[in-house]
Amino acid sequence: MKRTVSILLALCLLLGLSACGSSNSSSSSEEKQTLTIQAAASLKNAMADVTEAYKEKDPNVELTFNYGGSGDLQKQIENATGAEFDFFISAAQKQMDALEQGGYLDNDTRENFVENKLVLIAPKDSDTVTDIQSLTSSNVETIALGEPSKVPAGQYAEEAFQNLGMLDEIKAKAVYAKDVTQALTYVANGEAQAGVVYKTDAISNDQVKIVAEFPADSYTPVVYPMAVLKQSEKKDAAKAFEEFLKSDDVSKIMEKYGFTPVNS
């Protein structure tokens, strides 16, 4: 009888430990989260390094990025039927303004992240494009620009050319791209003789060269705002990621890729 009781007690103990193990495993699994981030295409290279750095800070959070033109990303957020997206980093204030006015941002989470510059590029071995004014030459027939209705880089470019009194001539030669990365590719592949992109894009590709920076007073400062999205079901994790983006470690990464960190 004593032996039977001992066996039963042992079995109960084993079952209890197994249940505890199962409970701990479940708890650990629940702590792992995936944040889905809408991010301007020009951030792609830098965000690869940011992702690696965040893995060390919080291995339980996986970052998934959806890159594209900020206008397209804005529309995706507006058309979402559930909690598809958690965080947004735009390449311009316009798209973030629209989302804020539409009630898509979590309250008090909008902040400025980094700044960029607008530059004129040409294929590395080209001597046709020598400065911004040379774009009006008959020797220049194709200029790659982001589609202004969707791509902030295209909006900034049109603004700059308008202020420089060149817009009509430039539009006649424009080859429009779905995002700034595609505009860069057109020039790198020789499909366009020149292009207007961000400085960070230009320095990431050794097939192009920077011909000139646009005058700072010819276009609105290129500031990238960021915010947690109201539709997110992981707001605490998204806010923690936003705090990380303001850290010195991330500032160093962004500077490496040509961005200038800003204080909101």
124 within a domain of the structure (yes/no)? yes
- pLDDT band at 166; cut points 50, 70, 90: very high
21 within a domain of the structure (yes/no)? no
Q: Which residues span the domain enclosing 178?
A: 118-213
124 and 193 part of one domain:
yes
Q: Collect all residues with Cβ–Cβ distance below 8 Å to 244 and sequence separation of at least 6.
A: 54, 57, 250
192 and 75 part of one domain:
no
What is the average pLDDT value for the chain, to the nearest integer?
90
6 within a domain of the structure (yes/no)? no
47 and 88 part of one domain:
yes
**pLDDT tens-digit profile of 111-133?**
999 999 999 999 999 999 999 99
Number of domains, the chain: 2
Q: For residues 262 and 52, which has the higher predicted lDDT (pLDDT)?
A: 52
86 and 140 part of one domain:
no
**pLDDT tens-digit profile of 87-117?**
999 999 999 999 999 999 999 999 999 999 9
Q: Which class for 112: exposed (0-12), middle (13-18), buried (19 or more C-beta within 10 A)?
A: middle
Burial 199-228 (b: 16+ CB within 10 A, else e): bbbbebbeebbebbebeeebbeebbbbbbb
61 and 180 part of one domain:
no
**pLDDT tens-digit profile of 201-226?**
999 999 999 999 999 999 999 999 99
Say yes or no to pLDDT of 24 above 80. Answer: no
109 and 122 part of one domain:
no
161 within a domain of the structure (yes/no)? yes
The torsion of the CA quartet 6, 12, 17, 23, rounded to 10 degrees, works out to: -170
CATH number at residue 104: 3.40.190.10
